[in-house]
Structures are given as C-alpha cells and as structure tokens.
C-alpha cells in the first residue's frame, strides 16, 4: 500500500483530547513528569516522528478503548493509528455508547469482526477467516485495555454481540516490553493488529507495524532509563528499510 503524508491528528489523538477535556482532575501516568513529544509521546530527545510509517490499507481498524488507555504514554493503539490511515477510535463505557460507533459498524462497505479469543464466545460466532461479501472491506474491532478490562468489555458490550468473533492462535509470544500481562501468550493491541493485517493480505503493513512497535518500545525504555538515543540501532535500521521498501 502507498504511503501517505497526512499529518492531522489521528483518531486516537482526538480521543485523547476528548478524554482530557472531560477530566475532573489530571491523569497521572507512570513517567508523567517527563516532557513528551505531543505526537509520538516519547521524550523529545528520543522522538520517533520522523519514522512514522503511515499507510493506506484496504483493512480498517476500530479501537474500542478503556477509559484511560488514550492517556497512557505506553498505549499501543496510538501506534496502530500512526500506521493504518483508516483507524477509528472510541471510548468504552458500560452505560453509554458513542453513537458514532454503531453508525460505523452499520456502514455497508465494512464487515466488522470483533477480535477476541474464541474460548469466550459462542462457537457459532467464532471465525478464523474473513467472511467478506463482494466489495466489502474488513474492519477489525479491537478491545484496547488490560486483559481483565478487555474481558469485562467483551461481556458488557451488547452492541457487539452480533459481530463475528475472529480468534487467533499466536505462533509466538509477545515481544511487548512496556506493560506485561500475567500470561505471555497475550499480545499487546498493536501485535494483534499486525496479525489482522496479515490475515487481510496486507502482511507488509503488518510487519511495518511490528517494526514500529519495536522501535517505539526501545526508545521509550531508553528514555526511561536515561540512555542516549540509539538512532541507528538494528531495530531502527530495520524500520527504515521497511519504510523505504
């Protein structure tokens, strides 16, 4: 897919601003005292903006984000929106639904698929391939939250109950190093999105997203530990090679 030069705030950045606007008190995340680039959320000394690999894709991403996820510097849904131009993001609430979400899910150009482990869904809902009608595009609905929160979101979102559940069996353990699930087979949101892109026939963009995640994680941790920018690290070189291919 061709690169794009769009520099306007993406869906997750807009959701962050909406969330901040209704905050009663400031959200204090780990590392909040560090000055951060408003676009990549890293320390200015380790800024990643020049390597942002935005791409146009046939597949779309729909992030349903738990309350504080858009505010966390380590959130990887932001990275998905940095890479996949057609990314949508909505805040999750047990008692209210953003009306823009069902409107998106009902658009005929999309076939929404809720990405979640099949063991938590009725067997007749679970699919392992893309059930697309002619002319439809896949829209991957990702629950962006901690594992405990995501299970609650899955159970308490009746407006998603009619969607097919796309279930993956990852062949590798998560490489994400910024936040850790208690189960190593749990992938971070960006890793799941990369698998979705591969299934949709857009493996090069999926590999680009994985490489972008690797460099983000590396620079995040280096800044946290007061290490100098490794601009030509193997991870950065790999990302640059994929961006130019």
Longest dimension (CA), the chain: 52
Domain boundaries, the chain: 50-124+134-203
Confidence of residue 4 (pLDDT cuts 50, 70, 90): confident
Q: What is the mean pLDDT of residues 46-62?
A: 97
CA distance 174 to 129: 22
The overall average pLDDT reported for the chain is: 91
For the entire predicted model, the pTM comes to 0.92
Q: What is the mean pLDDT of residues 67-90?
A: 96
Angle between helices 203-224 and 234-244 (to 10 degrees): 150
**Which tops the pLDDT comparison, 32 or 222?**
222
Write down the pLDDT at residue 28.
58
* pLDDT tens digits, one per residue of 84-132: 999 999 999 988 999 999 999 999 999 999 999 999 999 999 999 999 9
Ramachandran angles phi, psi of 70, nearest 5°: -65, -20
What are the residues whose beta carbons fall under 8 Å from the beta carbon of 164, sequence distance 6 or more? Answer: 112, 113, 114, 125, 126, 127, 131
What topology is assigned to 50-124+134-203 in CATH? Alpha/beta knot (3.40.1280)
What are the residues whose beta carbons fall under 8 Å from the beta carbon of 72, sequence distance 6 or more? Answer: 29
């505010």: which residue's tokens?
Answer: 71
CA distance 205 to 56: 9
Is residue 217's pLDDT more than 70? yes
Confidence of residue 169 (pLDDT cuts 50, 70, 90): confident
Is the Cα dihedral 203, 221, 9, 93 positive or negative? positive
Q: What is the mean pLDDT of residues 164-185?
A: 69
């Amino acid at each position: 897919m061709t690169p794009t030069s769009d520099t306007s705030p993406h869906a997750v950045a807009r959701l962050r601003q909406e969330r901040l606007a209704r905050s009663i008190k400031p959200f204090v995340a780990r590392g909040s005292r560090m000055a951060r680039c408003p676009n990549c959320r890293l320390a200015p000394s380790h800024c990643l903006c020049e390597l942002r690999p935005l791409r146009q894709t046939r597949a779309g991403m729909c992030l349903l984000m738990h309350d504080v996820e858009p505010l966390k510097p380590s959130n990887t849904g932001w990275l998905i929106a940095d890479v996949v131009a057609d990314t949508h993001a909505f805040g999750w609430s047990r008692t209210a639904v953003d009306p823009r979400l069902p409107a998106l899910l009902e658009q005929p150009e999309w076939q929404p698929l809720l990405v979640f482990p099949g063991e938590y869904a009725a067997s007749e809902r679970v699919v392992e391939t893309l059930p697309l009608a002619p002319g439809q595009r896949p829209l991957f609905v990702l629950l962006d939250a901690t594992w405990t929160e995501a299970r609650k979101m899955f159970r308490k979102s009746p407006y998603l109950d009619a969607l097919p559940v796309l279930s993956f069996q990852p062949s590798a353990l998560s490489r994400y190093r910024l936040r850790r699930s208690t189960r190593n087979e749990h992938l971070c949101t960006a890793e799941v999105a990369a698998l979705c892109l591969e299934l949709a026939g857009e493996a090069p963009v999926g590999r680009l997203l994985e490489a972008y995640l690797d460099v983000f994680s590396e620079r995040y941790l280096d800044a946290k530990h007061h290490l100098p920018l490794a601009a030509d690290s193997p991870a950065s070189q790999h990302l640059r090679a994929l961006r130019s291919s």
